[in-house]
Amino acid sequence: MNDRSELLSQLPLRENLRGLSPYGAPQIDVPIQLNVNENTHPLPPVVVDAIAQEVAKAAATLNRYPDREFTELRELLADYLGHSLTKENIWAANGSNEILQQILQAFGGPGRTVMSFGPTYSMYPLLASGTDTTYIAGERAEDFTLSAESAAAQVREHKPNIVFLCSPNNPTGTALGLDVITAVYEAMSEHNGMVIVDEAYAEFSLASTKSALSLLEGRQRLIVSRTMSKAFGLAGARVGYLAAAPEVTDAIRLVRLPYHLSAVTQATAIAALKNIELLLAQVEDIKSQRDRIVARLKELGLKPSVSDSNFVFFGGVEDPHAIWEGLLEAGIIIRDNGIPGTLRVTAGTESETTAFLERLAELLGSQK
Ligand SMILES: *Cc1c(COP(=O)(O)O)cnc(C)c1O
């Protein structure tokens, strides 16, 4: 134990937080950052200007609290999502991580449970601890797929209060079929549980993949969570949002802090959404870089998963840590999620992707 953790252990911390580590994907300042699934393309200058103007307007009234209901932002988000959704169906927060935390505050908490199916997003268990909700680790098949039958059976066995379904799944990249979501929803209906589909990467999905937004109608306890951090290229702005029945947003209002979405955040998101086409223009390029990574990794004898996202998860890596380090020496950071024999890489710009693929090929060659 080092000095700081010794000192920490003296504090009257809640029991369920003892011994935990905070979320900590390394933030290392190297030229090519392909480790946390950001959109690596810089924002178009027109959008940067639009945001600067809108934020300047907001700055003039920062002596006042912001619109607590962020009405204009909810309207723009509803328009963007379509599916006949209105602002009554929309809620937003500081990143979809805060959205998920608010859901746990409203529907989880002491004596309640949340279940997900690993390997999946590493924040779910941490958000569970933070809200004193018991985390139940459901399982996927050996190839990381999750069938409707298996998911529903695990839900019926554990009867969790909340299920998080990550689709496309992080870190494996593949989306769930809508049959999995409806089967889980039916199983959860038997004990009045909430089902959250985390669609952080929805905009990168393959054409054949359907969004759970199409399932919202008539399903009161279904929530679809989205973010502006990935496809929109706005990870630094911290804006996530959800679509659900209006009464679900009323439940969240009971736990949100007043004025949780700052005037600066609202102005940024509004300006961005008014330029949505420019903002999403990079998505096709990112998808083609992703497909290029998948094809090249196969040529290199690795085993990439099907990707509906802006990253590629690949197996067949003999020594993931050595590869991770070898890339880092060349100024390229990717992600080692600690799953044996695998690594994950974000699709970058064309030149970033080329640099990654070339260096990887060298490293694999030198391992033989
Ligand atoms: C990146 C990511 C998010 C987004 O988090 P924000 O708080 O919106 O930046 C949510 N869920 C998953 C699975 C992610 O990978």
Residue 197 has a pLDDT of 98
C-alpha distances (whole Å) from 302 to each of 47, 225, 328, 360 are: 38, 32, 19, 11
Q: Whose CA is nearest to atom 4 of ligand 1?
A: 96
Residue 25 has a pLDDT of 75
Q: What would be the CATH architecture of the domain defined by 45-274?
A: 3-Layer(aba) Sandwich (3.40)
Give ranges for CATH 3.40.640.10 in the chain.
Answer: 45-274
Residues forming a β-bridge with 224: 197, 243
> What is the whole-number distance in angstroms between the Cα of residue 125 and the centre of ligand 1?
14
Question: What amino acid occupies position 334?
Answer: I
Residue 313 has a pLDDT of 97
> What is the whole-number distance in angstroms between the Cα of residue 242 and the centre of ligand 1?
12
Q: Give per-residue pLDDT as tens, 10-45.
A: 999 999 889 888 887 778 899 999 999 999 999 999
CA-CA distance, 138 to 154, in Å (whole number)? 7
Q: Whose CA is nearest to atom 15 of ligand 1?
A: 170
CA-CA distance, 163 to 144, in Å (whole number)? 18
Pairing relationship of beta strands 311-315 and 303-304 according to DSSP bridges? antiparallel
Residues forming a β-bridge with 304: 314
Q: Whose CA is nearest to atom 11 of ligand 1?
A: 200
C-alpha distances (whole Å) from 61 to each of 48, 162, 177, 263, 264 are: 21, 40, 46, 9, 10
Residue 105 has a pLDDT of 98
Question: What amino acid occupies position 91?
Answer: W
Give ranges for CATH 3.90.1150.10 in the chain.
Answer: 25-43+277-367
> What is the whole-number distance in angstroms between the Cα of residue 227 and the centre of ligand 1?
7
User: Cβ(35)–Cβ(333) under 8 Å?
Assistant: yes
Residue 367 has a pLDDT of 59
Residue 232 has a pLDDT of 95
Q: Which residues line ligand 1 (CB under 6 A)?
A: 37, 95-97, 121, 166, 170, 198, 200, 227, 229-230, 235, 240
Residues of the chain with pLDDT under 70: 1, 367-368
For domain 25-43+277-367, which CATH number applies: 2.40.50.140, 3.90.1150.10, 3.40.50.12780, 3.40.640.10?
A: 3.90.1150.10
Residue 16 has a pLDDT of 87
